[in-house]
Chains A and B, each alone.
Chain A
Amino acid sequence: GESVGLHLPTLSVQEGDNSIINCAYSNSASDYFIWYKQESGKGPQFIIDIRSNMDKRQGQRVTVLLNKTVKHLSLQIAATQPGDSAVYFCAENYSGNTPLVFGKGTRLSVIA
């Protein structure tokens, strides 16, 4: 089924610390997962993606971990900066060209 939007949970992190944002996805058949960052009044911005044949993928300051057994996805941000403050959404789909199903989102607040 679809992930339904709820009021956003908030994660507050000290500048320079690492952030971990978690997401539980809904469809065990999903094979493509993406993390997006959304700033206020803007569209989602692609951060990093991972396919179901991997369990970890690293980018610049970001790492995505996938645990298919428990349908869990996480985004790790190293050395969090004030510019990282935003809402983060995980999204999933099957075979790439189907609509994305978005998770409920987490607001990251970086304390300077």
Chain B
Amino acid sequence: GAVVSQHPSRVICKSGTSVKIECRSLDFQATTMFWYRQFPKKSLMLMATSNEGSKATYEQGVEKDKFLINHASLTLSTLTVTSAHPEDSSFYICSAIDGKGASEQYFGPGTRLTVT
């Protein structure tokens, strides 16, 4: 099946710094990618929809200036957490849809962010 990778898998950063998370579709072109965050023992909550070549669509309550999303190519979307705080510590997961119109979304392995 299709493969989606994320980098880094784990990152620890200090409060006030920014961290970038990459999401790549390795063997298909993804016109749309989604970013989710997941707190311990909770479900996945959609943060934003990332469309190649256009601005991301953010869910209500998600600060677009804090969570910067760039989808510059059909195989890469990035999420930058700016001025990170301990409450931003979470598991961030991306998913991608094959641009051929398939329904299945392929999930990345997730990135564990810890802000100290």
Q: In the complex, which range does the number of interface residues on chain B fall in?
A: 20 to 34
Q: Is the pair A3, B49 in contact by a Cβ cutoff of 8 Å?
A: no
Q: Is the pair A100, B105 in contact by a Cβ cutoff of 8 Å?
A: yes
How far, in whole Å, are A43 and B106 apart by their CA atoms in the complex? 10
Q: Is the pair B43, A103 in contact by a Cβ cutoff of 8 Å?
A: yes
- B4 CB contacts on chain A under 8 angstroms: 43
Main SS at interface, chain A: loop
A window 1-16: CB within 8 A of B? 2-8
**Nearest CB in chain A to that of B43: its residue:** A5
Count how many chain A residues have C-beta atoms less than 8 Å from C-beta atoms of the other chain: 27
> Given A32-B103, A43-B110, A44-B93 in contact, is the A99-B41 Cβ separation under 8 Å?
no
- B45 CB contacts on chain A under 8 angstroms: 5, 102
> Given A89-B43, A99-B46 in contact, is the A49-B97 Cβ separation under 8 Å?
no
- A4 CB contacts on chain B under 8 angstroms: 43
How far, in whole Å, are A64 and B84 apart by their CA atoms in the complex? 41
Q: Which residues of B contact A (CB under 8 A)?
A: 1, 4, 6, 32, 34, 36, 39, 41-46, 49, 91, 93, 95, 97, 101-110, 112
Which 6 residue pairs of A and B lie closest in terms of their CB atoms, listed nearest first? A96-B103, A5-B43, A5-B42, A43-B107, A43-B110, A102-B44
